Amino acid sequence: MTEAPLATTKFSFNIDYNGKQYELTLSQKSNNLLVKSEELNSIPLKRYEEEFSKSSLNQISKFFKMFDDINELLPELKNRIEEKKIWLKVDENIFYIYFKIEILNINEFCLELKKKEEDLKSVVEGLCKTINELNNKIKNLEEEKIKTNNKMNELQNEIKIIKEKLLPLKEEKEKEEKIENFKESKIIKNSEDKKMVSNWVKPNSRIKFSLLYQVSRDGDRTSTFHNKVKGKFPTLTLVKTKAGYKCGGYTSVIWDQTGNSKRDELAFVFSLDKKKKYTIKSDKVGSGIQGYTSFFAFGGGSDLYIYDQCTTSNNNYCNTPHSFNTTEKFELTGGQYHFIVDECEVYHVEFL
């Protein structure tokens, strides 16, 4: 099952830098990424702009190689800007946007926008726009000043009431925003196991687990698995065998179908039955995960190997101990080498 491509999008943001406000716009132009920045209320109007092809982006950072096209890249850049995973630097001729990256082996990168020279008509239009905006602000401020003077005592009383109610309101808001993880899971049910798995991923952290793939819902074809998890990382995988054993694995890197082992120092496997987490061996970090058109696996052994049509195929196997610090043979699946899958679920992991 192939998901429909994202529609062409355009995103705009207002960002403060050194006491100045900029409007930052990202959009798709033909097959390129168009990035614009405009300093609001500047006289004359200052604009910066650059158009990037997919190939030029790939040369800037390995990060862009994870996305097939600009249409797929835009939402990821939008999320990073909204989550404030950027910082700016502006000089007279260049507007720099630095992106923070928390992905193994991928460094932060910078997009540079050149200052756009304005013609006389654009300068005049910009000045007129700024003057009109300033006049409107002055008018609004004068009206607000009159209202503020008349209602000062009333506002002070309201502020006092708000302060008194702030703490319980905050507690109620946090309660409402509490995330219920694994709600759709058919493998992990009790709150103790949910908390245990969350702490394995990152102790004492607020984490959201979003269901990407579920065998009982989406089918047991490996091609469906790859379509569902494409471009999503980190991920957590849960597996339940026909014999009832529950296990899984975590990876911080992206799944692909190259057949090559991928380095992942943060990868681990686990047994829900034994309530144990097994970290990757120091000499095996280069074999964290491996994906191909007909399977996906944890470890180079493979420690946990899920084959196409896993609910009927007996090609699934557990070969511990190999790449992870397990101690018993076939430990994840209760001593079984080959096994049949009853349920498999993959979750996108988001750190909030």
What confidence tens digit (pLDDT) does each residue in 195-236 have? 999 999 999 889 999 999 999 999 999 999 999 999 999 999
In which element (H, E) is residue 198 found? helix 191-201
**pLDDT value at residue 118:** 63
**Which CATH number fits the domain 10-121, given the four candidates 2.160.20, 2.170.210, 1.20.1260, 1.10.3470?**
2.170.210
Q: Are 109 and 101 spatial neighbours (Cβ–Cβ below 8 Å)? A: yes
β-bridge mates for residue 120, sequence order: none
- For residue range 109-124, what is the model confidence (pLDDT) as tens digits? 999 999 987 655 666 6
- DSSP character for 69? S
Task: Record the pTM.
Answer: 0.52
A 10 A CB-CB count for 93 gives 10
Using 50, 70 and 90 to split pLDDT, how confident is the model at 1?
very low
Average pLDDT over all residues of the chain: 89
Residues 6+ apart with CB under 8 A from 341: 215, 220, 239, 240, 241, 242, 306, 310, 311, 316
The CA distance from 242 to 340, in Å, is 6
Q: Is the dihedral of CA 79, 80, 84, 87 positive or negative?
A: negative
What pLDDT is attached to residue 177?
Answer: 52
Q: Could you give the CA distance from residue 306 to residue 283 in angstroms, rounded to a whole number?
A: 23
Say how far apart CA 256 and CA 260 lie, in whole Å.
9
Where are the domain boundaries for CATH 2.170.210 in the chain? 10-121
SS3 state of residue 79: helix
Of 24, 47, 41, which is closest to residue 127 (Cα–Cα)?
41
Closest CA to 314 of 291, 336, 344, 293: 336
Q: Binning pLDDT at 50, 70 and 90, where does residue 240 land?
A: very high
